[in-house]
Amino acid sequence: MILAGDVGGTKVHLALYEFTDGDLKHARDQQFPAKEYSGLEEIVKEFIVTEKVTAACFGVPGPVREGRLRLTNLPWTLDSRELSTHLKIDYVFLINDLQANGYGIAELSSEQVYTLSEGDARQIGNRALISAGTGLGEAFLIWDGRDYVPYPSEGGHSDFAPRNEDEIDLLRFLMQKYNGRISFERVVSGQGLTNCYEFLREVRGVEEPAWLAERMTTGDPNAVITELAMAAKSEICEKALDMFVSAYGAEAGNLALKILSAGGLYVGGGIAPRILEKLKDGTFMKAFSDKGRLSQLLLHMPVRVILESRTALIGAAAYAEARAAELSGISPRAASVKF
């Protein structure tokens, strides 16, 4: 049995996988409120009941150094060697959460991905992955001539680059709000959507009806904005989502240029599937391909939206099995194949 984990600042999602005829088979999974636990070890011990786990991999937010990471949104320090010892699991690995998503892409079926732009599917080369959720994650999928090898990145924390008068004023607004430098994550993330909304209300003077103001204070602002924008029930919510999606597309295009992702770009994260209809209306693709003399290059890159919410878990499970097989010489995936 393989244990996979997706560790976030608010929740930890764990799952168990096994293999059937070479394919990953989901056994069970559970989510845990991270802040109610003292560490990952406590959560894993609660999750694993009687199963014998041979290898585990956890996708974590941030850069992993020599199997060790200190989380920024939780007072936890994770160490793969300590986890292996305390949990009595022979092989434990920590990888960046976007890297885990990258490994998961190779395991997805066509039904788990929506093609936003066909591009030129004949092209072979690097791929890019961008995922807006609680934060903004980015990763590179480097083509080595045989496989796509995911590499982590902290590109979501690079400087926000405004492209028009609205975004220039948005940058000024956010510099005052956060008292300094602004990264793309401040605009393209869950909080970024709310930031766009607040900018339109406070700087552009777009009306916020009393009933909407009440909903924004009593509910999850991002969920409220998304719901009303997608249902076309609020002008300010529609404008905020439009601003958000345009910035999302622009940064996706920046990432695609930086690694020359001829093999395409994947849009992951929790937000994209919820706003899929908005992504289809051309706003994202217009900003993605609006790169001056290199626009044609972007138009030839396929763009796909990941619909599967467990992609990071699937990727973590695949990575755990592959790395443990390299170290032990025993592959559960290969052993499950029937000839």
Helices (H), 146-234: 165-178, 190-202, 210-218, 221-230
Range of the domain at 198: 109-307
Residues 170 and 277 in one domain: yes
Residues 181 and 326 in one domain: no
CA–CA separation, 14 and 28 (whole Å): 9
- Total number of domains constituting the chain: 2
What's 268's domain CATH number? 3.40.367.20
CA–CA separation, 158 and 14 (whole Å): 30
The pLDDT score that the predictor gives to residue 205 is 97
Residues 76 and 178 in one domain: no
Q: What is the DSSP letter of 61?
A: S
Residues 287 and 321 in one domain: no
The string of DSSP codes covering 74-143 is SS-EEEHHHHHHHHT-SEEEEEEHHHHHHHHHTT--GGGEEEEE---TT--S-EEEEEESSSEEEEEEEE
- Classify burial at 297, counting beta carbons within 10 Å of its beta carbon; exposed 0-12, middle 13-18, buried 19 or more: middle
The pLDDT score that the predictor gives to residue 10 is 82
Residues 38 and 173 in one domain: no
What's 46's domain CATH number? 3.30.420.40
CA–CA separation, 20 and 271 (whole Å): 31
Q: What is the DSSP letter of 157?
A: G
Residues 282 and 314 in one domain: no
The first and second tokens of residue 122, run together, are: 């004949």
Checking DSSP bridges between strand 127-132 and strand 264-268, what pairing results, if any? parallel
Q: What is the DSSP letter of 300?
A: T
The pLDDT score that the predictor gives to residue 63 is 87
Residues 59 and 199 in one domain: no
The pLDDT score that the predictor gives to residue 339 is 63
Residues 163 and 25 in one domain: no
The pLDDT score that the predictor gives to residue 19 is 86
The pLDDT score that the predictor gives to residue 6 is 94
Give the DSSP H or E segment for 274.
helix 271-274
Task: Tell me the pLDDT of the chain (339 aa) as tens digits.
Answer: 999 999 987 899 999 999 888 888 999 999 999 999 999 999 999 999 889 999 999 999 888 999 999 987 788 999 999 999 999 999 999 999 999 999 999 999 999 999 999 999 888 999 999 999 988 999 999 999 999 999 989 999 999 999 999 999 999 999 999 999 999 999 999 999 999 999 999 999 999 999 999 999 998 999 999 999 999 999 999 999 999 999 999 999 999 999 999 999 999 999 999 999 999 999 999 999 999 999 999 999 999 999 999 999 999 999 999 999 998 888 888 888 776
Residues 295 and 315 in one domain: no
CA–CA separation, 43 and 83 (whole Å): 12
Residues 239 and 115 in one domain: yes
Angle between helices 190-202 and 165-178 (to 10 degrees): 100
- Whole-model pTM: value is 0.92
The pLDDT score that the predictor gives to residue 336 is 84
Residues 185 and 303 in one domain: yes
Instruction: Please work out, in degrees rounded to the nearest 5, the angle formed at the alpha carbon of residue 186 by the alpha carbons of 180 and 188.
Output: 155
pLDDT (tens digit per residue) in 112-134: 999 999 999 888 999 999 999 98
pLDDT (tens digit per residue) in 151-184: 989 999 999 999 999 999 999 999 999 999 999 9
Residues 140 and 218 in one domain: yes
